[in-house]
């Protein structure tokens, strides 16, 4: 997979997390504080305050950031500008993709899988 494709997938994951179409892997304890699973943890998580009564979702908020996603997938920080540009273009130019995804019960990332692309082409052609 090329770096450009990886950057696109990270941008899609970030957008899905921001729009609440997807949620970070984790769990709530009895006091309703959210903690990330081992699969979700990264180096960036260590500097974030532990969940408390006053801030029960501190780690969840962090796990929805681009910085966290890039760290989780070991993407270099210089790719951050490219990923931010993808997100900006999405928000400005292609908001209908989100509507399409929700309408057929998919996330944005699912739309870019080969089977989904074929399905959307069939719908568009009227087959």
Encode pLDDT of 10-25 as tens digits.
Answer: 888 888 888 888 899 9
- State if pTM tops 0.85: no
Res. 2: pLDDT tops 60: yes
At 123, the pLDDT band (50, 70, 90 cuts) reads low
Cβ atoms of 101 and 38 within 8 Å: the answer is no
pLDDT value at residue 95:
59
Sign of CA dihedral 41, 75, 57, 110: negative
Residues 86 and 14: their CA atoms lie apart, in Å, by: 11
Q: Where are the domains of the chain?
A: 3-125
């Amino acid at each position: 997979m090329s770096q450009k494709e990886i950057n696109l997938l990270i941008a899609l994951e970030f957008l899905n997390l921001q729009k609440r179409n997807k949620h970070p892997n984790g769990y709530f304890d009895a006091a309703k504080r959210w903690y990330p699973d081992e699969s979700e943890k990264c180096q960036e998580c260590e500097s974030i305050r532990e969940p408390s009564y006053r801030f029960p979702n501190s780690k969840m908020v962090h796990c929805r950031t681009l910085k966290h996603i890039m760290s989780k997938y070991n993407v270099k920080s210089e790719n951050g500008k490219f990923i931010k540009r993808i997100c900006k273009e999405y928000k400005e130019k292609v908001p209908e993709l989100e509507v399409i995804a929700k309408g057929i019960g998919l996330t944005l990332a699912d739309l870019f899988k080969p089977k989904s692309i074929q399905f959307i082409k069939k719908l568009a052609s009227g087959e």
